[in-house]
Amino acid sequence: MGTTRRLVVIGGVAAGMSAASKARRTDPEMEIVVYEKSGFVSYGACGLPYYVQGIIEDHNTLVARTPEQFARQGIQVHLHHEVTEIDPESRRVQVRDLGAGREFGVEYDRLVLTTGGDAARPPFPGIDRKGVFTLRRVEDGIALRRFIEENEPKRAVIVGGGYIGMEMAEAFRSRGLEVTVVEMLPQLVPNLDAEMAVLVREELERNGVQVLLEHRVEEIGGDERVEAVVASGEEVPADLVLVAVGVRPNTALARQAGIALGPTGAVAVDDHQRTNVEGVFAAGDVAEARHIVTGKPVYIPLGTTANKQGRVAGENAAGGDAVFHGVAGTAVAKVFDLEVARTGLTERQAREEGFEPLSTTVKAASQAHYYPGGGPLHVRLVFQKDGRLLGAQMVGKGAAKRIDVVAAALQAGWGIRDLQRLDLSYAPPFAPVWDPILVAANVAEKAIR
């Protein structure tokens, strides 16, 4: 391949830098240029709650590789550069240098779109008041931690009961704040079934967090700075508000360029991460993925998916033939002393997808009962009458890595009886002789006989 071939990557976090790195390994001669709007690339956004909490002292430790390190690999990274337009016909992008205030055009042979997702900001009256935050990028974490250290707020309200909200409840409590979580749905963590979500709520309340379910935010009140959140007629005092109601794909550039969106609202891609526009690939939180259980497009923005899709997009943009095989939506979060994990479909999701699911939930010991430091682990398996495995949820000690067993089973197309036959490890400090996964599979097997 000649040196005249140029790959332009728009966005420099997980998917973008994975794409650039894999493209470089695939084609050592290709010119690779990355444009990133923010001041950081290649960072672990999932570590931001722990930076705000203070467990991680320096935000720079979240950065895996710097622009200078990428430059030594032959990848040009331009920070504070925003791509404002893509012209697929001329294969050209328009770039704005946010520092210098100038604009210029750049031609490309291949383009990888990794503009990511933005933290959702519903149009609540008062959402722009001082003291209201979202947490998505390094700059968000820096601003939030600085606000806490400089203003010493006493009361925090978290709007949204998903994973970020749960992790930040612990972060705020560890800093001594009174915390209230406001959620419009009848349960926390909407990608769990209700009986598992109850365990999360109980853990929050054990740690002094007030939880208000079925409360819809009407206003964020105050004068110059936030003073309260009004939800379903109830006023909750607040010195700090974190809005954590999900992520929306940043598709403005895609729409402008005529790149097709899928049914989820994210960019539609095939299993090679190709879009409908010749020479343009997309990956990460801007793109859809195929769910391995349903076979349908889904939007599940996770760092793991972004890195894998980016790797596939980068290889193919450089002339390779890589395939992305889909996702199960496997995720885990730490909520105080609980590990909260899930993969595949919940029972509710399975019904919505047209399955006729069964489920079973067991409570088992995470370690041998006589070994100190163990605790209960709740395991819920979702499956069909014929034994096909559809998903799992786990809440308690030892969930974080056990969920990966079920994720692997889903990828392999296994059923309940396959889980029963697993030869799982046993030692008192790590697991009982009957692992909780085996206990759950044995109970589930009775329903499919």
Residue 244's pLDDT band, with cuts at 50, 70 and 90, is very high
Is it the case that residue 449 has pLDDT exceeding 80? Answer: no
Number of CB atoms found within 10 A of residue 192's CB: 22
> Does residue 193 surpass a pLDDT of 80?
yes
Q: How far apart are CA 166 and CA 431, in angstroms?
A: 27
What mean pLDDT is predicted for residues 233-258? Answer: 97
pLDDT score of 337 more than 60: yes
Strand spans (E) along 136-282: 155-159, 178-183, 209-213, 217-222, 226-231, 234-237, 240-243, 247-249, 280-282
H helix or E strand, kind and range, residue 87:
strand 81-87
> Does position 243 have pLDDT exceeding 70, yes or no?
yes
**Which neighbouring-strand residues pair with 104?**
95
- What is the band of 287 on the pLDDT scale with cuts at 50, 70, 90? very high
pLDDT one-digit tens code per residue, 100-154: 999 999 999 999 999 999 999 999 999 999 999 999 999 999 999 999 999 999 9
The single-letter DSSP state of residue 425 is -
Residue 364 DSSP SS3: strand
pTM listed for this prediction = 0.94
- What are the CA-CA distances from residue 102 to residues 97, 108, 134 (Å)? 5, 20, 29
Tell me the percentage of the chain whose pLDDT exceeds 90: 98
- What are 334's strand-pairing partners? 339
CB 290 within 8 A of CB 268: no
The mean pLDDT of 349-373, rounded to a whole number, is 95
Mean pLDDT of the chain: 96
Measured CA to CA, the distance from residue 427 to residue 442 in angstroms comes to: 20
Longest dimension (CA), the chain: 69
Residue 224 confidence class, pLDDT cut points 50, 70, 90: confident
Reading the block at residue 194, the tokens are 């209700």
* 242 has a pLDDT exceeding 50: yes
Q: Cβ contacts of residue 152 below 8 Å, gap of 6+?
A: none
Percent of the chain past pLDDT 70, that is, above it, reads 99
Residue 436, class by beta-carbon neighbours within 10 Å (0-12 exposed, 13-18 middle, 19+ buried)?
buried
Confidence grade of residue 1 (pLDDT, cut at 50, 70, 90): very low
Domains of the chain: 6-43+63-117+248-317 (3.50.50.60), 121-245 (3.50.50.60), 337-445 (3.50.50.60)
Token pair recorded at residue 395 = 């809440």
Residue 212, beta-bridge partner list: 182
Residues 6+ apart with CB under 8 A from 265: 248, 249, 251, 299
Whether 2 shows a pLDDT value over 60: the answer reads: no
Interval 406-414 mean pLDDT: 97
Q: Is 46 a catalytic residue?
A: yes
Q: Looking at 44, 46, 194, 237, which residue is catalytic?
A: 46
Helices 303-317/14-26 angle, 10° precision: 30
Q: Collapse the DSSP code of 247 into the 3-class scheme (helix H, G, I; strand E, B; otherwise coil) and give the result.
A: strand
Contact present, 280 and 257 (Cβ < 8 Å): yes
- Cα 245 from Cα 118, distance rounded (Å): 11
For position 115, what pLDDT does the model report? 98
- Could you tell me if 237 and 153 are in contact, meaning their C-beta atoms sit under 8 angstroms apart? no
Is 4 a residue whose pLDDT tops 70? Answer: no
